Amino acid sequence: MSPTSAPSSRRTRNRALRSPLARFLVRRIVTALLLAVGITLVTFVLTNLVPGDPVSANLGQRALGDPAIVAQWRADHGLDRPLPQQYLMHLEGLLHGDLGTSQQSHRPVLDDLAESVPATLELAGAAILVSLILGVGFGVIAALRRDRLSDHVLRVLSLIGISVPTFWLALVAFYVFFFRLQVTPGSGRIDPGMTPPPQVTGLYTVDALLSGRWDVFSSAVGHLAAPALVLALYTIGLLTRFTRSAVLEVLGQDYVRAARAKGLPGRVVLFRYVLRPALVPVITVAGLAFGSLLSGTVLVEAVFAWPGVGQYAYKSATTLDLPAIMGVGLVVGVVYLVINLVVDVLYGVIDPRVRVS
C-alpha cells in the first residue's frame, strides 16, 4: 500500500510515534511487558526446581498410599504434562487471576495476597515518605556543609544506616521501645480488640481517616511508626549519600557560580539552580530504594508480626508452599516492575536527554 493511500489514522499514529517521548514510552512499556513475562517464567522454573514433592505436601498419608488417587491429583493439577505445557497452563491461569491455591491456608493465593498487599504497601509507603524527606534533607545539608563537622557526622550516620542488619535493628527497636520503654504499641497493625476501619483502600491510616475514626487512626499510626522507621533507615542512608554527591556535582557547575556572581540570594540559587537539576536523578534512586524496602519488609514484618506480604512470604518459604511462593515472587516482581516503569517514564518526561538516548 502506498503512503498516500494509507488511512489517516495510521498517518496520525506514525506522526505520534515520531515524537521522541512517545517512542520512549512505547519502548519502556514493551520492555516492561517482556520483563513481566520473564518474571512469570523465573518463578515457574524456580518453583519446579523444588526438591520437595507437591503431591506429598498436599495429600494425606492414606491418599498417598493409593496410586490412583495420586495419579488423579497429578492429572487434576496438570503435573502429568510436560513442563512447557504446565507453564502455558500457568500463564493462562494468571490471565484469569488464578495464582493457585495455597497449600497451607487452603485458600486462593490471590485472596491471601489481596489481604496482605495493602499492609505491606502502607508500611513501605510510610517508609519511603520518611526516607525521601530525611534522606534528601540530610543529603542537601551534607553537601552544603561539605567537609565540616555536620558533613562528617552525616557521612558516618548514613554509612551506619546502610550497614545495620534490618532484622536485628527491628528486634532491638522492638525490645527497647516496646518491651523496655513502652513508648510504642506492640505488634500488629492496630491495638488488639480494636475493629479495623471499613475497607476502602486497605491502608488502615487512610481508611480510618475516611471513616472519621480517630482512635483507629492514632493506633494505626502508632503501630506503623517503629517498623516504618526501622525499614527506612537503610534507604535514608542510601538517599543521603546519593543526594550529597548529586548536589555537590551541581554546585561545581559554571551556571551556579554565575548565579552566585550575579548576586542572587543563596535561597534562590539553592532551590532554583541547584536542587532542581540535582534532585532529578534522585527519582531513579528512590525507585531502587523502594525495591530494597520491599525486600526489607520480609525481615521487618517477621519481627513486628506485621500481617503483610513479607510475613506471608516468610511463612510460605519455610513451609515450601509452592503456589504461595510463586504468587509472592510474581506479585512483588510486578509491583517493583511497575514502580520502575513509573520512575523511568517520570525521568524521561522530566529530563529530555534520557528519552533521546
Partner 1 sequence: MKRAGLFARTRVSRLPQAWRRPLAIVGTVVALAWIVVALAAPVLAPHDPLAQELPRLAPPGPGHWLGTDQLGRDILSRIMYGARVSIPLTLLLVVLSVLIGGLLGACAGYFGRWVDETIMRLADLVFAFPTVILAMVVAAALGASLGNAVLAVLVVAWPAYARVTRGLVLGVREREFVLSGRLLGFSAWRSLRVDVLPNVTGPVLVLATLDIGTALLLLSGLSFLGLGAKPPSPEWGAMVAAGVDVFDSWWVATFPGLAILTVVLAFNFLGDTLRDALDPRTARAIKERAL
Nearer to partner 1, 221 or 320 (CB): 320
Nearer to partner 1, 142 or 220 (CB): 142
CB of 324 to partner 1, least distance (A): 10
CB of 289 to partner 1, least distance (A): 11
Nearer to partner 1, 236 or 328 (CB): 328
User: What residues have CB less than 8 Å from 301, skipping those under 6 apart?
Assistant: 120, 123, 227, 307, 308, 309, 310, 311, 314
Nearer to partner 1, 35 or 283 (CB): 35
CB of 280 to partner 1, least distance (A): 20
CB of 356 to partner 1, least distance (A): 19
Nearer to partner 1, 122 or 301 (CB): 301
Nearer to partner 1, 216 or 330 (CB): 330
The site for partner 1 (CB under 8 A) is made up of: 35, 38-39, 42-43, 46-47, 49-52, 147, 155-156, 159-160, 162-169, 171-172, 174-175, 179, 291-292, 294-296, 298-299, 302-303, 313-314, 317-318, 320, 325, 328-329, 332-333, 336-337, 340
CA geometry: angle 33, 34, 35, nearest 5 deg: 90
User: What residues have CB less than 8 Å from 278, skipping those under 6 apart?
Assistant: 243, 246, 247, 249, 250
CB of 50 to partner 1, least distance (A): 5
Nearer to partner 1, 6 or 41 (CB): 41
Residue 50's φ and ψ, nearest 5 degrees, are -55, 125
CB distance 147 to 249 below 8 Å: no
Distance CA 117, CA 308 (A): 6
CB of 217 to partner 1, least distance (A): 29
At 201 the three-state DSSP class reads coil
Nearer to partner 1, 190 or 331 (CB): 331
CB of 147 to partner 1, least distance (A): 7
DSSP alpha helices (H): ranges in the chain? 8-18, 20-49, 54-58, 61-64, 67-76, 83-95, 109-144, 149-163, 166-173, 204-210, 214-251, 254-261, 266-268, 276-304, 309-318, 322-350, 352-356
User: What residues have CB less than 8 Å from 52, skipping those under 6 apart?
Assistant: 320
CB distance 190 to 203 below 8 Å: no
CB of 252 to partner 1, least distance (A): 9
CB of 231 to partner 1, least distance (A): 12
Distance CA 216, CA 353 (A): 47
Nearer to partner 1, 229 or 298 (CB): 298
Nearer to partner 1, 185 or 296 (CB): 296
Residue 262's φ and ψ, nearest 5 degrees, are -70, -15
Nearest-CA neighbor of 336 among 306, 303, 297?
297
CA geometry: angle 337, 302, 155, nearest 5 deg: 70
Distance CA 144, CA 125 (A): 28
CB distance 5 to 291 below 8 Å: no
CB of 13 to partner 1, least distance (A): 28
